[in-house]
Structure 1
């Protein structure tokens, strides 16, 4: 929303209000840097294929250090280290660290303290090269990834640590916290139960498990979220609260008729499709149907795994790729929804920060997907519009303007497109172009009672006030008031316009 304007009619463009900017991310990788890193990544993959593991590690490590939120870079870093150090899991670092390893760990600790993320990830990659099973380094990198806002990579570092030592207490504690933050309560509880096995007298762990069980019940059952607060703070055991919530009347089920012969157990649709994939591994439809089954059950990670396998089998089938992309986006939106609910319920700065970071990551992934689709289908104006929305959310207003300008050819959403164009132009202080776009949005949305028409009128009227164009401001705001006198602060702005005319 645009803020109030000074009361003078000679307001300069320098003092014009600006709409609130999107929340900045910890780091934005520019297109030029991303292109350079992609070239290093390709060199690393070729070196990995040739068995030149050290050069591959150097390439992947640089990619991870400069783009710590890119999960693909991290996955290849680990895969390369697994081939370079095949006995890593069998070796214990407790027998003594090399001088180089100690130096890298020290550098990483200092970088973390200074919040120098590039240096921290670079030193962490160097330490992992000396010992890919170094859980302390993996946990530090997970901590850095969390602070950086790279939730996917944070979880991957924690998984790496637990693959190395499934019973490591601190790794399980950190993993439980990270998993619960994104709504993966099953896995979070499993981690805490491993801690409980090692620390049976730790009553705080037991309370946390009970609280997560309640949160899981609420999430899956769609119960009133106010119960979450009560379940977490009630004096009664949370497990009892969960049981109470599940006490719903169930319709009576008729008893099965006795049978002389036992019936064979039913084969689930999942098992059926898994068997088909085993028998016919080149048949893509089976993978797609299995992924659909997983998606219906909100098992998006399983669906991604199946579609990733299908993509490799199909040698890059476009339909499979887009299904995989859509599944990834659905999972990230689900995680964002969970983080938003958590922020609303808890009301803490940490919870709100997590929600912002999850939303930023989801938007970045959507931006990448729609950029690729728009490039593959330059005549598909819907992709241009969706790309423009993601660019705008990311604060990339100049790029968003280009996408929206191409999307104007789609008459079905012309009014929306013009409105977004106006807001982007206003962000970069091209006020005349913004006004032209707002007025075009008004014309394209003829229904004066629609929310879109009202917002376009409001934007045009407020901007006209800022530009000192009082007649134009009065025209737009008066027509808005005729349609909806209670809209936002339109009545106050009309009063202010009258004062500005008198002075």
Structure 2
């Protein structure tokens, strides 16, 4: 019996993991093998089978930008003349029109793998269905994968630059991560078609104010189509990177002309190919990806740079750690903002999980840094602070005690120690640390830290029935800020207790 060709062999049927959770090492290895098979099929022009394999990768790991880029590149080879699909143009065609609804229904149930699988299946028939693409972007955003969310939206805008719904969705996604300039640009494209829409005008005005308040984090490439994956065509001709062709109101030609000249992704890749043992070549491409918001790719390249350097370059290691932490923090921030906008227990649960993951990631990274720098009180402080955030109060004590060597932040350290001691019910040690924090604060300034230390000491002493100590600290606090929290009510209660004893 002859061996079936790849196009005749069905994709692996391993049960997909929950897309909202993390993949195990074994699952990632399995998925990477599927991905490598898909790339080989693409190179052999077996686009249909490659689509099925890339679909599996995208469905099971919707946070991987690399998988998504290759999925789109293969789809472009399958349908080189794909255009934006409007429902009116395809009315009556089998399978068209329900793709977006299927994706939304599965996502609404939290069945993320099924949602992305449905989207991939729909795009195989109608690759220009911007409704499906934007719905997959919304699902990626729900999971906190902001880089993939923006990639889907950029893809939809490639197909239909003036689409009102996609521009609105892109504006909200960009606002959620603080990209106010580009969010305004999306709203301006909506305004061109809806000049009398008050909601659009208010959004532009509000974002203009927020932009003035917070000018940091502008990344003009997120929805400009730059940095696409460059896949080899079977004939050997390199596929051109897909780029947005519409005019961008938020980036006039004069500003674009004034931008500094930088190496392209192709040039940076060529530098790696020319000298694969040079860690700086990988680091340069990683920096390029970081500027584009492609944090997964940047993290992968920094790992290669660190390995190429022999695992001893601490500067590269810290850059790798920072990209990893930035990705986790961004995911937590986006999830929190989305939960605040949309409400509901599902969104809140995702936000809480994303925050837990970000805090745990910080604890691990700063723990490694503290281990590398045992005599650095700042490194010990950062580690102790992160341990406290994840609820490891007992473990946080030792690094925080080591951080006392930094006299400039002694008051803050003692306050944190007091809170840790209180959590593990070492109340006398907690009182001692709170009072040390008070003593370390400048006596001429009523800082928030000094007020909080007095409050913590007074409340704890009151709970321990040490009325004299409680009255002293709470009275000192009330003399400076009588409206601080419930200090006045606590002083009244102290007076009442003294009358009855």
TM value normalised by structure 2: 0.58
Distance 1:63 1:336, change over 3 A: closer
1:219 correspondence with 2:217: no
Q: Secondary structure at the match of 1:446?
A: helix
CA distance in 2, matches of 1:280, 1:108: 41
1:266-324 deviation digits (Å, cap 9, x = unpaired): x98932777996996667769979999x99xxx95479799669637735565245336
**Given the alignment of the two structures, is residue 456 of structure 1 paired with residue 449 of structure 2, yes or no?**
no
Aligned mate of 2:133, from 138, 149, 156:
138
Q: Count residues in correspondence.
A: 398
Q: Give, in whole Å, the separation in 1 of the partners of 2:101 and 2:198.
A: 35
Partner of 1:48: 35
Change (3 A) 1:152 1:407: farther
Q: Structure 1 residues 204 and 435 mapped into 2: Cα distance closer, same or farther (>3 Å)?
A: farther
Would you say 1:494 and 2:491 are equivalent positions?
Answer: yes
User: Matches of 2:331 and 2:26 in 1, distance apart?
Assistant: 31
**Aligned CA distance change for structure 1 residues 286 and 56 (closer, same or farther; 3 Å):** closer
Q: Shift of residue 451 of structure 1?
A: 5.0
Comparing both structures, which one devotes a greater share of its residues to helix?
Answer: 1
Aligned match of 1:375: 368
- Point out where structure 2 has 5 or more consecutive residues left out of the alignment: 1-16, 42-49, 216-256
**Equivalence map 1:148-227=2 (5 Å):** 151-192=146-187, 194-195=189-190, 202-204=194-196, 208=200, 212=204, 215-216=207-208, 219-220=211-212
Q: Which residue of 1 aligns with 2:46?
A: none
1:441-462 per-position Cα deviation (integer Å, ceiling 9, x unaligned): 4236533636545433421321
Tell me which residue corresponds to 1:346: none
Equivalent positions of 1:13-28 (< 5 A) are none
Match of 1:79 in 2: 70
Give distance in 2, aligned partners of 1:480 and 1:417: 21
Partner of 1:7: none
The partner residue of 1:271 within 261, 267, 280 is 261
Residue by residue over 1:354-413, the C-alpha shift from the partner in whole angstroms, topping out at 9 and shown as x without a partner, is 9999999688546525523423652546445435545655xx31x355245434322225
The answer to whether the 8 Å contact 1:419/1:438 transfers is: no
Separation (CA, whole Å) in 1 of partners of 2:98 and 2:202: 42
Distance 2:325 2:427 in 1: 31
Of residues 97, 119, 123, the one that matches 1:127 is 119
Point out where structure 1 has 5 or more consecutive residues left out of the alignment: 1-28, 65-70, 224-266, 344-348
Partner of 1:474: 468
Match of 1:15 in 2: none
2:242 is matched with which residue?
A: none
The 5 Å alignment of 1:284-363 reads 300-301=291-292, 311=302, 314=305, 316=307, 319-320=315-316, 322-323=318-319, 326=322, 350=341
Distance 1:187 1:367, change over 3 A: same
Decide whether aligned partners of structure 1 residues 464 and 220 sit closer, same or farther in structure 2, where only a CA change above 3 A counts.
closer
Give, in angstroms, the shift of residue 174 of structure 1: 1.6
The whole-number CA distance in structure 1 between the counterparts of 2:193 and 2:60 is: 44
Which of 418, 421, 425 is equivalent to 1:432?
425
Where 1:408 maps in the other structure, the secondary structure is helix
With over 3 angstroms needed to count, the CA separation of the structure-2 counterparts of 1:437 and 1:150, relative to structure 1, is farther
Counterpart in the other structure of 1:11: none
Provide the C-alpha distance between the structure 2 equivalents of 1:313 and 1:492, rounded to a whole number of angstroms.
Answer: 60
Provide the C-alpha distance between the structure 1 equivalents of 2:335 and 2:28, rounded to a whole number of angstroms. 32
SS at match of 1:131: helix
Q: Which has the higher contact order (CA 8 A, sep 6+)?
A: 1
Deviation at 1:501, TM superposition (A): 2.8
